[in-house]
Amino acid sequence: MDALTLFGIFVLLPLVGALVSYFGKKYAPIIAVIFTGISGIFLYLWYGNFGSYTIDIGVKLNLTFDITTWFFMLMMNTVIFSSLLFSVSSKLKRAGGFATLMLLGFAGANGVLLARDFLSLYLFWELMSWSIYLLVLRTSGEYARRYLLFGVLSAYLLIMGIGIIYYYTGSFLYADALSGAIPHAIWPWILTFLILGFGIKMAIVPFHVWAPYAYSSEQPFVAFLSGGLSKLGAFGIFMSMYSIAGISLLQSFGTFRGVSLMGYPFALLGAATAFIGTILAIFQDDIRKLLAYSSIGQLGYVMIGLGLGTPLAIGGAMFHAFNHAFFKSLLFLGAGAVIYRTGKYKISEMGGLGYRMPFTFMFVLFAIFALAGIPLTSGFISKWMLYEAAISRKFVIVAPLMLIASVGAYLYSYRILYGVFLGQLKDEDKNVKEAPGPMLAAMFILMVPLVIFSIVPGWILGWINKILVENGIGKLNYTTFSYSSAIGGANMAVFWIAFILLLIFAMLMFMAKKARVVDQYDNYLAGEAPPSVALHAAHNYYKPLRDTWAPLLKHSIDRAYEKFSKFFAGGFYEIKRIYTGNPQDYAAYLGIAFLAFLLVGWWLLW
């Protein structure tokens, strides 16, 4: 494999695909699926075929295909493949444009993963950024600008970090950053800029306000955005902390219970993100917003892991990122399937759809298990690793916040589960059909790893271990079925055996008692037909909880941003007055400018 092949398959091929699928009109999603499938096949074939390459397009792009890249590309490719497969049957408007932009975003994401110099990183980062912007623009135009502004803010924070490195090293290569040219005291600045820059894509607090709106776009895209592209933030933070700077440099800024002081504040930020995201998710009635806030919260966990920086924490973060890629895109696709069939977004208006869409229900159920960290899905292992990482170092702020967030995750998961799929079926949904084949296939593809890796976490832990070892972080203790840490670990074989026993027990219980199916209106209201809205449990769900939290929810970060932007826009209108429109004033500007230039000239040149 040479440089051009690598670049060609993972970057140029999607770009070509983007071009082709634009003209594919109705068949665009199918074409796009084929293109992503091809790159997926190559990704599978080239495992282990690692190396560094340089592409010269006038500027030199340094690309490296290694295990870290491969690991993240795997998520990216699977997620986009299933998202596009889902979109085949979801009858999008202007499907050509959709597929084109998805593939452009995919090319950008692959580029970011392959890049080992800042120029190509920034190049692909921006490519990805604006293609997402246009995808968001397709449906929620009002808020696309918000996404773009935060995207650009993230790019500019990166630029600041990159620029400082460039000032000292004169090189864009990742590898040159650690050559010692950069003074020790400058590193915190660089890392802060880079981590915040990447963090915006992960929607960490307080930069999360773009996410709920961007995640309200078309479901196949959002699945890719939340499942795939947001991992680039995790990748970037991982690279900047543990590959560009390196763990020993981080440790040299002082440690707090064995965790670098460079990383700990970001772990706190991650904990805050997990907490806030989860709390806000609980109160959402719009299923898309709920999933969006949940996504924010889950990525907070990843941030915690990356911030703590012990091998267990990073391993957990990686694993959780991997799981999140699958379960969150599965959830978004599941929600998409429901929305596609019912045309409704509000959880309180749905209900009982599990009877009508059993396969969708099953897939979503698994995703929810993984999301809530219930054993039997791989989501449990990754969360458990993160808990252990926090607990083993006695972090009294991070660990409790994580636990609260985890409880919160149960609450909102239950809201989806009960509000959408269980409970009583609405009259108008009586004729809802199961989601079309491609959608089910897409969801199935995403569900499989969640189950498999819960049985054999060793496979994925093997890859993660390789990543950790390659970057000099440490290593994990794992076997095919379990991992162990200083304070415990988990053995999935035991869990599964226990589960199967429990399952048998539950089935026996279920069969022992005869259940009676009760009609919707056959209840305590004594035959009087109640308004169906009020009957549904998802109506005013968690109202008491909401009332408790109301005083806190009043202070919204969203509103703070609005005030901030209003304040600035007002200032802009003041500045505008400089252009008075009166040519006499303008001539006077010229005279003043001349004298000013002259004075500066005297001062500088004499």
Partner 1 sequence: MIRPVLLIALPLFFAFLSPIIGIWSKKGVRYLIIFATALNATLAGILLLEALQKPVFDIIGGFQPPLGIVLMVGPLGAIIAFIINLVAFAISIYNLKVEKEPIVRYSMLYLLLVMGSTGMVLTGDLFNLFVFLEVTSIASYGLAAYNKDKKGYLGAMKYVIIGSIGSTFVLLGIALIYSQLRTLNMLDIAARIGTMDPYVKIMAFTSLFLGFGVEAEMFPLNTWVPDAYDGAPHPISAAFASLPAKAGVFALARVIFTMFSFTNFLWFVVVMGLLTVFFGEIVAYTQKDLKRMLAYSSIGQMGMIIMGLGIGTTLAVEGAFYQMIAHALGKALLFIAAGFLIYAARSGKIEDMKGMARNPLIGIPLLIGALSIMGMPPFAGFYGKFFILMGGFSQGYYAIIALFLAASIVEVAYYARFIKIVFERGNESKVIRPDAATYVPLIILAIIIVVIGVYPKPILTVLQHVGTFIAGGA
Partner 2 sequence: MKKALAIVLAILIFIVFALAFVKIPFGEKMSTYPHYYNPITNQTSNMSLPQHYLTYGKNDTGATNMVTAIVVDYRGFDTLGEVTVLFLASTGVGSLMYVENKVKKKVRRSNAVVETGSKLLFGFIILFGAYIFIHGHLTPGGGFPGGAVIASAFLLLYLAYPKFHAKHEKLSVSESIAGLTFVIVGLIGLIIAGYFLYNFLPFGLPTYLFSAGVIPLIYVAIGVKVGSELTAIVDSMMGVRE
Q: Which residue has the tokens 């009002």?
A: 142
Q: Answer yes or no whether residue 186 interacts with partner 2 by CB under 8 A.
A: no
In the bound state with partner 2, the residue whose beta carbon lies nearer, of 567 and 603, is: 603
Contact with partner 2 (CB under 8 A) among 19, 403, 533, 592: 592
| Nearest approach, Cβ of residue 123 and partner 2 (Å) | 40
* Three-class SS of 125-148: HHHHHHHHHHHHHHHCHHHHHHHH
Residue 592 C-beta: closest distance to partner 2, Å:
7
Q: Judge contact between 118 and 147, C-beta under 8 A.
A: no
| Closer by beta carbon to partner 1, 567 or else 602 | 602
The answer to whether the beta carbons of residues 228 and 75 sit under 8 Å apart is yes
Residue type, 5: T
Closer to partner 2 by Cβ: residue 504 or 595: 595
| 600 touches partner 2 (CB under 8 A) | no
Answer for which of 452, 595, 596, 600 binds partner 2 (CB under 8 A) is 595
505 binds partner 2 (CB under 8 A): no
Answer for which of 486, 594, 596, 600 binds partner 2 (CB under 8 A) is 594
For residues 398-427, which are near partner 2 according to CB under 8 A? none
CB of 595 to partner 2, least distance (A): 6
Instruction: Choose between 57 and 185: whose C-beta lies nearer to partner 1.
Output: 57
> Which of partner 2, partner 1, none has residue 148 at its interface (CB below 5 to 8 Å by kind)?
partner 1
Instruction: From the list partner 2, partner 1, none, pick the one residue 581 interacts with, judged by a Cβ distance below 5 to 8 Å according to partner type.
Output: partner 1
Nearest 10 degrees: CA dihedral of 142, 143, 146, 147?
-130
CA distances from 67 to 51, 72, 458, 478 (A): 10, 9, 16, 18
Please give the span between the terminal C-alpha atoms of the chain, in angstroms, as a whole number. Answer: 61
Q: Which residue's CB is nearer to partner 2, number 345 or number 589?
A: 589
Is residue 456 within 8 Å of 492, Cβ to Cβ? yes
Return the one option of partner 2, partner 1, none that residue 127 interacts with (CB less than 5 to 8 A, by type).
Answer: partner 1
Q: What are phi and psi of 149, to 5 degrees?
A: -60, -45
583 binds, among partner 2, partner 1, none (CB under 5 to 8 A by kind): partner 1
| Least distance (Å) between residue 601 CB and partner 2 | 11
Q: Is 361 within 8 Å of 421 (Cβ atoms)? A: yes
Nearer to partner 1, 551 or 591 (CB): 591
Give contact residues for partner 1 (rule: CB under 8 A). 56-59, 119, 122-124, 126-127, 129-130, 133-134, 137, 141-142, 144-145, 148-149, 152-153, 156, 159-160, 162-164, 166-167, 170, 569, 572-573, 575-576, 578-579, 581, 583, 585-587, 589-590, 592-594, 597-598, 600-602, 604-606
- Told to check if 591 binds partner 2 by CB under 8 A, we report yes
Question: Least Å distance between CB 591 and partner 2?
Answer: 4
Total binding residues for partner 2 by CB under 8 A? 7
Tell whether residue 596 is a contact of partner 2 (CB under 8 A).
Answer: no
**Order of all β-strands in the sheet with 477-478:** 477-478, 482-485, 488-491
Of the candidates 255, 387, 391, which has an alpha carbon nearest to the alpha carbon of residue 320?
Answer: 387
Helix (H) / strand (E) element for 404: namely helix 398-416
- DSSP secondary structure string for all residues of 452-478: HHHH-HHHHHHHHHHHHHHTTS---EE
Q: Least Å distance between CB 226 and partner 1?
A: 22
- The partner in contact with residue 144, picked from partner 2, partner 1, none with C-beta cut-offs of 5 to 8 angstroms by kind, is partner 1
Q: Is the dihedral of CA 91, 75, 113, 387 positive or negative?
A: positive
Q: Which two tokens stand for residue 447?
A: 């569900």
Q: Which stretch binds partner 2 (CB under 8 A): 144-152, 234-242, 552-560, 586-594?
A: 586-594
Q: In the block, which residue shows the tokens 């009332």?
A: 547
Asked whether the beta carbons of 94 and 344 are under 8 A apart, the reply is: no
In our burial notation (b when 16+ CB lie closer than 10 A, e otherwise), range 406-445 reads bebbbbbbbbbbbbbbbbbbbeebeebeebbebbbbbbeb
Among 461, 533, 531, which Cα is nearest to 490's? 461
DSSP per position, 321-344? HHHHHHHHHHHHHHHHHHHHHH--
Nearer to partner 2, 487 or 598 (CB): 598
* Residue 346 DSSP SS3: strand
Q: Nearest distance from residue 601's CB to partner 1, in Å? A: 4
CA distance 37 to 81: 7
| Residue 451 binding partner per list partner 1, partner 2, none, with a CB distance cut-off of 5 to 8 Å that depends on partner kind | none
Within residues 115-144, the interface with partner 2 by CB under 8 A covers none
In the bound complex, what is the minimum distance in angstroms from residue 34's beta carbon to partner 1?
23
Nearer to partner 1, 4 or 41 (CB): 4
Residue spans of alpha helices (H) in 170-186: 174-177
Where do we find the tokens 């609450």?
411
* Binds 527: which of partner 1, partner 2, none (CB < 5-8 Å by kind): none
CB atoms within 10 A of CB 461: 25
**Binding residues vs partner 2 (CB under 8 A):** 584, 588, 591-592, 594-595, 598
